[in-house]
Amino acid sequence: AQSVTQLGSHVSVSEGALVLLRCNYSSSVPPYLFWYVQYPNQGLQLLLKYTTGATLVKGINGFEAEFKKSETSFHLTKPSAHMSDAAEYFCAVSGAPNTGNQFYFGTGTSLTVIP
């Protein structure tokens, strides 16, 4: 089975500070990679995704993520946190070898933004 690891179940940053949420995956072959955001009492919404091509991916709301094959990582960043960024963030993977057509999510990181 595919493994998706999000380091840090809770991250707190000050408003205006850099946001860094970490994601590592276990596949030896680059899969498709996603970041989703979940606001309270809502479903998930796609922030950005990597399929092929440019390794730096830009998403909505000023977020971006960089695919690093050598580190099997896909960390999410935002230069300046806003109060509205407070939410749960999930990294997800699909298309890894021997996983069929399954989709795997990490355990999530809850982001708190301190005014």
Give the footprint of another protein on this chain (CB under 8 A): 1, 6, 9, 32, 34, 36, 41-46, 49, 51, 90, 92, 94-95, 100-108
DSSP annotation string for 8-52? -SEEEEETTS-EEE--EE--SS--EEEEEEE-TTS-EEEEEEE-S
Q: Which is nearer to another protein, 41 or 70 (CB)?
A: 41
d(CA 43, CA 90): 12
Question: What's the closest the beta carbon of residue 98 comes to another protein, in angstroms?
Answer: 14
Residues 28 and 77: beta-carbon distance below 8 Å? no
Backbone angles phi, psi at 83, to 5 degrees: -55, -35
Q: CB 115 → another protein: shortest distance, Å? A: 26
Instruction: Decide whether 40 or 115 has the Cβ nearer to another protein.
Output: 40
Q: Which is nearer to another protein, 3 or 14 (CB)?
A: 3
Smallest distance from the beta carbon of 107 to another protein, in angstroms?
4
